[in-house]
Amino acid sequence: MGHFHSPAVLLRYHSEEAKQTFEALFAQDFSIHAFSSDEAVLEHIVAAEAPPAALVIAGCETSTAINSALLAKARTQYPTVLRVLITERVILSELVALLDTQVIDRCFEQPLDPDLIRSHLLTAALTSPELSGQTKHQPSLPNTEGQRPVVLIVDDEPAATKYLIRQLEHLQDEFSLLSADTAEAALEHLRTPGAPIAVVMTDQRMPGMQGKELLDELRQSHPAVVRILTSAWGEVDVALNAVNEGRIFRYQKKPWQAQTLLPLFREAIARHRELASALDNTRCETRKRFAELRLQRHGRLVDHLRPILSAQVPDTTLNAFLDTVASIDHLPAAKAHLRASQDMHLEQELVRRFCDHVRQELSRLENIVPAGPGQSRMTSLFSGTPPQERATSSPPCSPAELLGQALNTLLVSSGLDWSHLVLTESRDQLHVAPEQPLRIYSHLLAPLTRLSDPLLEQQAALLMLFVTTSLLGGDVSAEADGQCLHLAITLPVLPGSGN
């Protein structure tokens, strides 16, 4: 078993008390290297095999941190290192200056919340490129099909907002501007398809949802949108929380001035492009890794299902089923899906439990005979009442009866019932199709974080539909349309059978 190495944290302390306090709180969780001078910190970073997870400045006034050569050098030379300031008291104007110069990432004042600080330091350690094996990506500027980026200004004083927008439009033609007088209206703008909103600047105090709440929501739903919080009130606690928890780009004090906001918005748009490019690269990598996992899962399903089905149907039946499943769209894979799939327990359980479902269904078959004889009841089977819900110990049934039960399971899982079947008869064939497509939101080859019986039952029913139709000498036509499946079954019927 490998040994866990405590994440490295560099502590630049300005007093012995600050050093002792920090070590007492965090020595058990981190490997702390404490220094009393900027030079000693830089020498340690240069000599170390890898950069630390974080650089903590403790016991320093915010006014001193603004002009800190150590923080400035760490920002430019070691951008992946989290820079944290712990101070006795935060002055709002100085916090704004720290954000403007981007020399710190987090700022905490006394009294400290050790759990909160510990969480930030551990997150920095877990996401550092050195630990994850990734290199820092230098993003290029994406092309948004000639669209100008949009800055959305949210404030409940529309007259002031419109005046500011007119001034900014007069000063530049690099970006467009929109306004909203509530957080809810801002969210509507962001939900508009194709709206290239790059930056949201919102006032804190508004009716309904507050500005900080809006930015918190955007951080989850629109991570590439750069977030700026503004206020005419000197709310230090709100600003600190927005910096540490909301990860805002800037805190902008009112009153607004177009000449001051113009360079801020330009910088924010550049940051948006970096974030958007990095997110796109992450999504591409996630898609690539899931495609590899999906191929492996497909191979395991073939290896385990082929011996189970080989005595009943040819390999082409299994191939047709898996090709149909693979053609159905699914939600994009996320990191949570990759983590779950990389846990081989989930992958093995998926194959094992699905094969158990298939074996259980096949064990109920009896009287498997060549297609033709015994099919005089085919039309009445599909035009009558739906098959009864089978019990665990249900008696053996014919392929036609098992086909009816599989089809009923698929209908019910899509919110349909037996009355939605459309039957078309010809001299020697019966065509059966649901009048609406089946809804299949997840399947055997989709990203999964957990297994559920309804999913396995639906997928087993789809496989049994292919198997029983093959046993009856029929054919299945299946065409995917997004997360829907247009299904049609053609079955042979003996002429003169009394249908």
Residue 359 domain-assigned? yes
Residue 243 domain-assigned? yes
Segments in 363-452 forming alpha helices (H): 378-383, 399-413
Among 99, 132, 165, residue at a domain's last position: 132
Contact 150, 177 (CB under 8 A): yes
The count of domains in the chain is 3
Count of CB atoms situated within 10 Å of the CB of 484: 17
Instruction: Mention every residue, 6+ apart, whose C-beta is less than 8 A from residue 358.
Output: 305, 308, 309, 460, 463, 464
Residue 183 domain-assigned? yes
Based on the domain organization, do 124 and 224 belong to the same domain? no
- Positions of the chain with pLDDT under 50: 1-4, 130-144, 369-376, 390-393, 497-499
Among 63, 98, 132, residue at a domain's last position: 132
Classify residue 17 by burial, with Cβ atoms within 10 Å: 0-12, 13-18, 19+: exposed
Question: How much is the pLDDT for 385?
Answer: 61
- The Cα–Cα gap between 467 and 134 comes to 46
Residue with tokens 């600003």: 239
Residue with tokens 């220094």: 35
- The Cα–Cα gap between 345 and 343 comes to 5
CA distances from 182 to 138, 248, 251 (A): 36, 19, 19
Instruction: Mention every residue, 6+ apart, whose C-beta is less than 8 A from residue 98.
Output: 62, 65, 66, 85, 104, 107
Based on the domain organization, do 467 and 338 belong to the same domain? yes
Residue 416 domain-assigned? yes
Question: How much is the pLDDT for 391?
Answer: 46
Residue 306 domain-assigned? no
Q: Which phi and psi (to 5°) does residue 259 adopt? A: -65, -30
Residue 297 domain-assigned? no
Based on the domain organization, do 476 and 389 belong to the same domain? yes
pTM summary value: 0.55
Based on the domain organization, do 187 and 247 belong to the same domain? yes
- Paired tokens of 455: 């999913």
Residue 145 domain-assigned? no
Among 84, 101, 132, residue at a domain's last position: 132
Q: What angle is formed at CA 41 by the lines to CA 36 and CA 44, rounded to 5 degrees?
A: 130
- Paired tokens of 301: 């399903």
Count of CB atoms situated within 10 Å of the CB of 385: 7
Contact 457, 338 (CB under 8 A): no
Based on the domain organization, do 226 and 322 belong to the same domain? no
Classify residue 241 by burial, with Cβ atoms within 10 Å: 0-12, 13-18, 19+: middle
Q: Which phi and psi (to 5°) does residue 145 adopt? A: 50, 40
Q: What angle is formed at CA 31 by the lines to CA 26 and CA 32, rounded to 5 degrees?
A: 70
Based on the domain organization, do 442 and 342 belong to the same domain? yes
Tell me the pLDDT tens digit for each residue of 85-139.
Answer: 998 888 877 887 777 778 888 889 888 888 888 888 887 776 655 444 443 333 3
Instruction: Mention every residue, 6+ apart, whose C-beta is less than 8 A from residue 287.
Output: 332, 333
- The Cα–Cα gap between 22 and 224 comes to 34
431 strand-pairing partners: 424, 490
Based on the domain organization, do 409 and 441 belong to the same domain? yes
Classify residue 459 by burial, with Cβ atoms within 10 Å: 0-12, 13-18, 19+: buried
Question: How much is the pLDDT for 386?
Answer: 67
Which structural domain, as residue segments, surrounds residue 476? 312-492
Contact 299, 250 (CB under 8 A): no
Query: What SS3 state is found at 462?
Result: helix
Based on the domain organization, do 180 and 215 belong to the same domain? yes
84 strand-pairing partners: 56, 106
- The Cα–Cα gap between 53 and 74 comes to 12
Classify residue 485 by burial, with Cβ atoms within 10 Å: 0-12, 13-18, 19+: buried
Question: b/e for 132-171, b at 16 or more Cβ within 10 A?
Answer: eeeeeeeeeeeeeeeeebbbbbbbbeeebbeebbeebeee
Residue 205 domain-assigned? yes
Based on the domain organization, do 172 and 206 belong to the same domain? yes
- The Cα–Cα gap between 47 and 33 comes to 13
Distance of CA 203 to the CA centre of its chain: 28
Question: How much is the pLDDT for 12?
Answer: 94
Based on the domain organization, do 266 and 159 belong to the same domain? yes
Based on the domain organization, do 157 and 120 belong to the same domain? no
Question: How much is the pLDDT for 143?
Answer: 43
Provide the edge-to-edge strand list for the sheet that holds 106-109.
31-35, 8-13, 54-58, 82-87, 106-109
Based on the domain organization, do 439 and 400 belong to the same domain? yes
The CATH number of the domain holding residue 173 is 3.40.50.2300
